[in-house]
Amino acid sequence: MSKIDSNAMMLDPDQVSRRLELTAFFGPNAADFLKTYDLLRERAVAIAAGQKPGFTLRGTGFEPAAFFLGPVWFFYRKLWAWAWSIVALIVVLGLLPGNTRFGVGLGAGLAIAARSAYVNHAIAKLAKLRNPQGEIDLQQAALAGGVSKTAGWVSGTIFVLLTILGLAAIFLLVRSGEPIR
């Protein structure tokens, strides 16, 4: 197996090796992401067996950090495309007139999608790291995955500063007597 896609990895009989690769990639809190992988794998196995898994409320987990911090969690986990897309979405939604209460819904959506997005990202990255013999250097996997503390701190600091700025603007607006819309 030189290249491996999502289903091939989930259906691979050598799950011990696949889980070891994922653990190296995930870094901190790998156990939480392995639970998500197991749920996604369970669904893939059912589909491969010809079963049609129905809707279930048992999801892949709720990521509180993605709910409260939004793109900061995605930057921290090196999900660059997701993080910048979320920032762009927040800016666009913030510029639309009358669209001021999207935050909770967006946060909930991000929190629900975060873990499965990260697991699928890991599978895709590991596929690219796989050599022609189908093996992965676990040190390379750890470097490609894991977390970026720098990106977390920088984006987190910007997030906190923007939150303070927003609260200050609300305080000044209330103090001026203007109605809040």
Q: pLDDT tier at 3 (50, 70, 90 boundaries)?
A: very low
Cβ contact 159:70 at 8 Å: yes
Cβ contact 87:158 at 8 Å: no
Q: What's the structural domain count of the chain? A: 1
Whether 4 has a pLDDT exceeding 60, the answer reads: no
- Residue 40 and residue 120: Cα distance in Å, rounded? 9
What's the mean per-residue pLDDT of the chain?
86
| pLDDT value, residue 174 | 84
pTM for the model: 0.82
Determine, yes or no, domain membership for 137. yes
Cβ count within 10 A of residue 59 = 12
Question: Which domain covers residue 151, as residue numbers?
Answer: 6-176
pLDDT digits (tens, 9 = 90+) for 28-56: 889 989 999 998 888 888 888 888 877 66
Determine, yes or no, domain membership for 37. yes
Determine, yes or no, domain membership for 43. yes
Closest Cα partner for 70 from 36, 94, 48, 54? 94
| pLDDT value, residue 55 | 67
pLDDT digits (tens, 9 = 90+) for 94-130: 777 776 677 778 888 888 889 989 999 999 999 899 8
Question: What totals of helices (H) and strands (E) does the chain contain, helices first?
Answer: 9, 0
pLDDT-above-70 percentage for the chain:
91
- Residue 29 and residue 73: Cα distance in Å, rounded? 13
Determine, yes or no, domain membership for 24. yes
| pLDDT value, residue 43 | 86
Determine, yes or no, domain membership for 181. no
| pLDDT value, residue 1 | 37
Determine, yes or no, domain membership for 82. yes
Determine, yes or no, domain membership for 1. no
Closest Cα partner for 7 from 181, 127, 132? 127
pLDDT digits (tens, 9 = 90+) for 59-75: 677 888 899 988 999 99
Determine, yes or no, domain membership for 158. yes
| pLDDT value, residue 58 | 59
Three-class secondary structure of residue 147 per DSSP: coil
